[in-house]
Chain A
């Protein structure tokens, strides 16, 4: 049954996509920020992880422990430096699209300058291994990456569900004005959320470093995929991002299997058109408030 093999690979891919998308959807949910530079920071983290592996022998999975806190701080600093001047403007979300578009170019340019524009990939031993289960094989690297994604997403969920700051973040996602009224410091919550979004991008980058070959401009392709799957799930919904990621990864794996790999990217944009026509708020999204 080749279909089951395709399903296994699709689900493993979806787990990583979910992690890649989680920070993006969180930022939109909390702050109405569309961060087009999100994937550029995933690539940046992938480079960090790659160099840590090449020059210090630090396993990409271990490098998460170093990259996440650094990216958390980087995110908070970026937020405090870049966003205060556009906060409170009437077209805030549109402004964030323009600003993060610029940020993506800057990040890409700097990476090309310092890391070069050629394909890179970290190669820890498990990256080329596979576990054989009867007729099927499970690539070890992808299994480890999906497991790590699952652990991190559960961690994020538990943080949102059970901590006081998490309550503040969720309240801000549901109704920013109401959150302010009950005493949530939305500025602080936004700063922390930006840090968390960036930390998730950092972790995703570490996994990407051994899963896919990457180069500085690769992020345009990824951000397109990530945006399409969070639009499918409902922008701002974490659950939606996970479901959208698994769904589209599986479907694209089947498209790739039956029609050929060149058709796989079509899945994401086909789904994007379809969802915007049929259910613009996405699977788990809220209808826009009037």
Chain B
């Protein structure tokens, strides 16, 4: 049984049109998945809907054997799905440490909270060095590290990460991808990733879903998907059609 199963998912914002028209994906435990597709394909909306931030209009979301579609974000987080959004959304006027403590908001046991905090600091010595620094004064790469560290506070089973490389220098991007790779390799966390830098994203992934116009077009092993002729038509081809040079 897959860890996360999405079936016939339909979602959109406010009274607007469906951004996700009909998406079905299966995510197996312990692997890393990359969602790729052109802008406006519905990649971010898919993650936000699974996280409970956008309410599904139709379809079924099952996680770890239980239905989680339509639950509140805090209930979904409690089930073990955490979400690292595109703009990282930290608490700007809280210190690194306070941000991490907020990441463990659902942990009521103080002892356990400190344990997790130490573990995250051990994983990211950079954050430990800067534990008293205000989040808003940190560099983009450090903020991304903090966002990842904050998500790890609750010991998630599935981590959904939306464009971790956005706005980062190539060298910093590589560091972030090393961290993402170690999530699944060292911690056994299942990862669902969106990445504009398709090559980079596929490098760290086992499997890829290709989304366009709110539906999944196809999927396949991450190592082979770039060679798929359909990618050229749908993704690279479309980019050219849309006026790219």
A and B assemble together: yes
Expressed in whole angstroms, the Cα–Cα distance for A180 and B103 within the complex equals 10
Distance from A164 Cβ to chain B, minimum over Cβ atoms (Å): 8
Q: Is A227 interfacial (CB-CB < 8 Å)?
A: no
B60-68, B72-80, B189-197 - the one binding chain A: B72-80
Chain B residues positioned under 8 Å from A182 (CB to CB): 77, 102-106, 150, 153
Contact A180 B91 (CB under 8 A): no
Q: Tell me which residues across on chain B come within 8 A of A174, comparing CB atoms.
A: 91-94
The total of Cβ contacts below 8 Å across the A-B interface reads: 61
User: Nearest Cβ distance between residue A89 and chain B, in whole angstroms?
Assistant: 8
Q: Could you tell me the distance between the alpha carbons of A90 and B72 in the complex, rounded to whole angstroms? A: 20
Q: Are A180 and B102 in contact (CB under 8 A)?
A: no
- Is the Cβ of B102 less than 8 Å from the Cβ of A167? yes
* Majority-rule SS of A interface residues: helix
A88, B85: Cβ atoms under 8 Å? no
B75 to chain A, nearest CB (A): 9
Complex contacts, A88 vs chain B, CB 8 Å? 14
Chain B interface residue count, CB cutoff 8 Å, equals: 27
Q: Is the CB of B85 within 8 A of A171?
A: no
What 0/1 readout, one digit per residue, does chain B (42-59) give for beta carbons within 8 Å of chain A?
000000000101000000
Asked if B105 and A183 sit within 8 Å, CB to CB, the answer is yes
CB-defined contacts of B150 to chain A, threshold 8 Å: 182
B residues near A (Cβ < 8 Å) are: 14, 51, 53, 72-74, 77-78, 82-83, 85, 89-94, 101-106, 108, 150, 153-154
**Can you offer 17 A-B residue contacts whose CB atoms are under 8 A?**
A88-B14, A167-B102, A174-B93, A175-B89, A177-B53, A178-B89, A178-B91, A180-B74, A181-B73, A181-B85, A182-B103, A182-B104, A182-B153, A183-B77, A185-B72, A185-B74, A187-B72
The 7 lowest CB-CB distance pairs between A and B, nearest first, are: A178-B89, A183-B74, A183-B77, A183-B106, A174-B91, A177-B89, A185-B74
